[in-house]
Amino acid sequence: MASVNPYYQRWRLLKDRLARYGIAFGGLAVIVALVLIFLYLVYVVYPLFLSAHTNAVAEYPVPDAGQGKTLLLAMEEQNEVGVRFTDQGQAIFFRVKNGKTIAVEPVGIPADVAITSFARGQPSKGMVVYGLADGRALVVKHSYRITYPGDVRLITPYLEYPLGKQPLVVDESGKALLRMAVQVGEDQSTLVAETSGKRLLLTRFSREESLFGDEPELEVTHIDLGIAGEDTDFILLDKEQRMLYLAGRNGELRYVDISGSQAGRFKEKHVDVLPVGTEISSMEFLNGDLSLLIGDSSGLVTQWSLVRDQQNRFTIQRIRAFKVSDKRVLVIQSEQRRKGFLTVDVAGVVGIYHATAERRLIEMRVSSAVPAAVALSPRANAFVLLDSANTMHYWRVENEHPEVSFQAIWGKVWYESYPKPDYIWQSSSASNDFEPKFSLTPLLFGTLKAAFYAMLMAIPLAIMGAIYTAYFMAPRMRLLVKPSIEIMEALPTVILGFLAGLWLAPFVEENLASIFAMLIVIPFGVMFFAFCWQQLPKRIQHLYPEGWDAALLIPVVLCSGWLAFLVSPGIEQLFFQGDLRLWFKREWGIGYDQRNALVVGLAMGFAVIPTIFSITEDAIFSVPRHLTVGSLALGATPWQTMIRVVLLTASPGVFSAVMIGFGRAVGETMIVLMATGNTPVMDLSVFQGMRTLAANIAVEMPESEVDSTHYRILFLAALVLFLFTFIFNTLAELIRQRLRNKYSSL
């Protein structure tokens, strides 16, 4: 017996050791990579769930207290300069951090006329209006000029007069203006006032451009709304200068569409917004002016918004409520860039809330004295509170992601202008007035829907094809079929998505009846051919080699498909009035979107089939030969042997194939991105599209601002997809191990 070369033996052991360590290192590297991916996703997502917090910065006496009582406090964007408008017609600009006066400017009230009212316009524009005893009004804007002398930022405050420095006539009879609301636009401005005669007057100022380049002139229109001003304590006008809201402390809210230009066309609608025994203590617009925030004497703040009813008419409805405290809500200040707001009750407790997320973010006592006024920064990162002791309290606010809550992400939310609560994803808009809609539920639903229809197509074809290929097909034919199907997996999914979107989707739309006819005609065609084949004499059947039967079915399938396309127009005309899509819409109310789940199922099913087929075929082909031979020797038919022996033994591998295919379908991006309408709707219909988590990340990540709420929620979607796949695959592995232990004794 020849001796083994020692050098060769050592070399073989070395290679074995290197392979063992290499495989172990590769496995550990994969695990480490997965852990690092998970940790990075958590690192990006974690700030979404951090609590908001505040800290006191400074307390100081009110600047220039002798200039009168404070009517309004405001701050500029950098939180460096504040302004205090007083009842003596003075605008006092001061340093927010220490209360040092920068400038005191009179707003321009005539010396012989008393101030009878004051109102604030849109906060982001810095507009205020003074109402006078002689029926006139003066609109003033506080503005800030930023310069950088010596590379140091310098903010210089000043006053502007968008409608002119002279007071404007509102009541031609000269009666005092008791309450007002104002909105100033580029081309048109509107002022609504209640006079001492209990009349409500509307005054519109339109700019008329001169053909010769002169200064534009104001065209003034006075309209008596014909609405009684009695029991009116609050007047608000939206920034579109269309909807007017009037409320009394008794809880009666009236709203009027003032978009018409003639008297007598205004019809008011009434609604009681408070229960008996409480009264309105404050009222303010939420950012965007689509909703009202109403605070009452019981410490409750309710949100009311205009929505369309079943008759498509606008009605105002209560959307949600926030229990601020058990005391009267004195002040409500809305954020200028988000759907948040600040409240102050009579005990000096400040609360910060987010309307859409329905979250109380901050609640703390700022002053022991009764609050008199509050100013929230345009960026909502600071506020100044003035109390009745003439003390200013300056606080910083850290509140980066108030839009995020479990309810906002996974629950139904009643968004502004929507008729009812719903799951909606709509992450961005061109305006700060936009209400972000960050519901991941429709995205998760779309992910599962796309995977379901893809697997519905792929599983039967792949598994049945693998069973026939591995067990019944001739070896030479198997050598052709298996590599051909495995090559399908090399096709780029972007090409499949491109073909699905530009060719398959229009083709399915034009031939929908034929597609459904194929599901019936082809199986019957195959069964009919099999029946006819069985009726042929045995000598003719034996002329065809065993295991090549599938080749005979190729022309049968092609002819059956051609027949389905041939007969479908007649069937469609006979049973569906000539158009199957319109019939579905008319009879069942099912709409048809060209890029839908049916197209995704066909395209993504085609992409998943090779994965499931290859693994299943290998599992079945690897079943020990002695098991099949023994079963056949005991009298079982080949089909019985396949079902009761081979398939059970290979079931762990088949199950793994299905789970890997499902994971591929869940994580697929390009096909669902290009072959669907990419709309985040929750509809089980096969004729409607969807948006998946993966496709949503691919579409919106390049457009999101780094570290913004939108950016982090996209990472949250990635984390959800990661965890979903990990948990599902872990459960699948446990089931596979149980199947292996159960059938390993066969």
DSSP string over 470-530? IIIS-HHHHHHHHHHHHHHTTS-HHHHHHHIIIIIHHHHHHTHHHHHHHHHHHHHHHHHHH
Percent of the chain with pLDDT over 70: 96
Q: Is residue 413 part of a domain?
A: no
pLDDT computed for residue 634 by the predictor: 85
Whether 500 and 625 share a structural domain: yes
- Per the CB < 8 A criterion, the answer to whether 144 and 206 are in contact is no
Whether 28 and 130 share a structural domain: no
pLDDT computed for residue 627 by the predictor: 84
Whether 39 and 168 share a structural domain: no
pLDDT tens digits, residue range 546-556?
778 778 888 88
pLDDT computed for residue 209 by the predictor: 65
Whether 18 and 162 share a structural domain: no
Tokens of 555: 């022309």
How many Å apart are CA 442 and CA 410, to the nearest integer? Answer: 9
In the predicted structure, residue 264 carries a pLDDT above the cut 60:
no
Q: Is residue 630 part of a domain?
A: yes
Q: Is residue 563 part of a domain?
A: no
pLDDT tens digits, residue range 279-315?
999 999 999 888 999 999 889 999 999 888 777 778 8
Type of residue at 508: V
In the predicted structure, residue 480 carries a pLDDT above the cut 80:
yes
Which residues constitute the domain of residue 154? 109-135+143-272
How many Å apart are CA 532 and CA 198, to the nearest integer? Answer: 95
Whether 613 and 496 share a structural domain: yes
pLDDT computed for residue 455 by the predictor: 92
Domain boundary among 16, 33, 49: 49
pLDDT computed for residue 554 by the predictor: 86
Q: Is residue 359 part of a domain?
A: no
Per-residue confidence band for 391, with pLDDT thresholds at 50, 70 and 90: very high
Whether 643 and 500 share a structural domain: yes
pLDDT computed for residue 262 by the predictor: 54
Type of residue at 739: L
DSSP string over 219-254? EEEEEEEEEE-TT--EEEE-TTS-EEEEE-TTSEEE
Closest CA to 602 of 678, 510, 665, 559: 665
Question: Domain total for the chain?
Answer: 3
Whether 707 and 605 share a structural domain: yes
Over range 416-428, report the average pLDDT: 87
Domain boundary among 238, 272, 306: 272
Q: Is residue 373 part of a domain?
A: no
710: domain CATH number?
1.10.3720.10
Q: Which residues contact 240 (CB under 8 A, 6 or more apart)?
A: 289
pLDDT tens digits, residue range 572-621?
888 888 888 888 888 888 888 888 889 999 999 999 999 999 999 888 88
Closest CA to 317 of 300, 301, 330, 305: 305
Q: From residue 481, how far is each of 233, 484, 532, 550 by CA, in Å?
A: 82, 5, 26, 10
In the predicted structure, residue 648 carries a pLDDT above the cut 90:
no
In the predicted structure, residue 429 carries a pLDDT above the cut 90:
no
Q: Is residue 59 part of a domain?
A: no
pLDDT tens digits, residue range 190-234?
999 988 878 888 998 887 765 555 566 778 888 888 776 667 889
- Per the CB < 8 A criterion, the answer to whether 370 and 23 are in contact is no
How many Å apart are CA 513 and CA 582, to the nearest integer? Answer: 12
- Specify which residues 91 forms β-bridges with: 85, 105
pLDDT computed for residue 215 by the predictor: 63
Per-residue confidence band for 464, with pLDDT thresholds at 50, 70 and 90: very high
- Of the two residues 322 and 550, the one the predictor is more confident about is 322
DSSP string over 547-604? T-HHHHHHHHHHHHHHHHHHHHHHHHHHHSTT-HHHHIIIII-----SS-HHHHHHHH
pLDDT tens digits, residue range 668-685?
888 888 888 788 888 888
Q: Is residue 455 part of a domain?
A: yes
How many Å apart are CA 167 and CA 180, to the nearest integer? Answer: 14
Q: What is the mean pLDDT of the chain?
A: 87
The single-letter DSSP state of residue 413 is B
Percent of the chain with pLDDT over 90: 34
pLDDT tens digits, residue range 103-117?
999 998 988 889 999
Per-residue confidence band for 16, with pLDDT thresholds at 50, 70 and 90: confident
How many Å apart are CA 247 and CA 68, to the nearest integer? Answer: 28
Whether 202 and 131 share a structural domain: yes
Over range 485-506, report the average pLDDT: 88
Q: From residue 97, how far is each of 68, 101, 151, 374, 382 by CA, in Å?
A: 21, 11, 21, 15, 11
Whether 45 and 115 share a structural domain: no
Tokens of 87: 């009842």
Whether 640 and 722 share a structural domain: yes
Closest CA to 236 of 209, 256, 210, 264: 256
pLDDT tens digits, residue range 330-375?
999 999 888 999 999 998 899 999 999 999 999 999 888 889 999 9
In the predicted structure, residue 242 carries a pLDDT above the cut 80:
yes
Domain boundary among 249, 272, 295: 272
Over range 470-489, report the average pLDDT: 87
Q: Is residue 188 part of a domain?
A: yes
Within a 13 Å sphere around the CA of 453, how many CA atoms are in the beta-carbon half? 23
Whether 267 and 148 share a structural domain: yes
pLDDT tens digits, residue range 716-741?
999 999 998 888 888 888 887 887 77
pLDDT tens digits, residue range 617-646?
888 888 888 888 888 888 888 888 888 888
